[in-house]
A and B are shown apart, each in its own frame.
Chain A
Amino acid sequence: MFKYFEPNKIFSITSKAPKYVLFLFIVIFSIGLTEALILSPEDYKQGHSVRIMYVHVPAAWISLGIFSVITFLSTIGYIFKIRNFFLIAKSLAPSGLVFNIIALVTGSIWGKPTWGTWWAWDARITSMLILALFYIMYLIAWRIFEDNDKVFKVTSIITILGIINVPIIKYSVDWWNTLHQPASINILSKSTIHLSMLFPLLTMTAAFALFSLLIFLMKYNTELIKIKNKGLDRL
Chain B
Amino acid sequence: MYGRKVKLRFFFVLLIFATLALSIFLLIKSLEENVIFFKSPTEIKTLNEISKKKIRIGGMVKKDSITIISKEIKFIVTDFKNEINVIYSGVVPNLFTEEKGVVAEGYLKDKNFFLATKILAKHDENYMPPEVKAALEEK
Contacts and interface: CB of A to CB of B under 8 A. Distances in A.
**Is chain B's binding surface mostly helix, strand, loop or mixed?**
mixed
B80 interface: no
B37 A177 contact: yes
A179 interface: yes
Contacts of A44: 128-130, 132-134
Interface residues on B, range: 35 or more
A86 to B, nearest CB: 14
B26 interface: no
B13 A156 contact: yes
B94 A114 contact: yes
A181 interface: yes
B123 A181 contact: yes
Given A116-B119, A177-B40, A193 B127 contact: yes
Given A161-B20, A179-B122, A194 B94 contact: no
Contacts of B129: 41-44, 194, 196-197
Given A44-B133, A177-B40, A120 B127 contact: no
Interface residues of A, number: 42
Contacts of B130: 41-44
A75 interface: yes
B10 A197 contact: no
B47 interface: no
Contact of B120 (A117, A177, A193): A117
Interface string B26-57: 00100010011111100000000000000000
Given A44-B129, A46-B95, A164 B21 contact: yes
A126 to B, nearest CB: 9
A220 B21 CA distance: 31
Interface in A74-102: 75, 78-81
Contacts of B37: 120-123, 176-179
A192 B20 contact: no
A79 B10 contact: yes
A116 B92 contact: yes
Given A78-B9, A113-B94, A192 B21 contact: no
A8 interface: no
A81 B32 CA distance: 39
A226 B52 CA distance: 61
Contact of A114 (B20, B39, B92, B95): B95
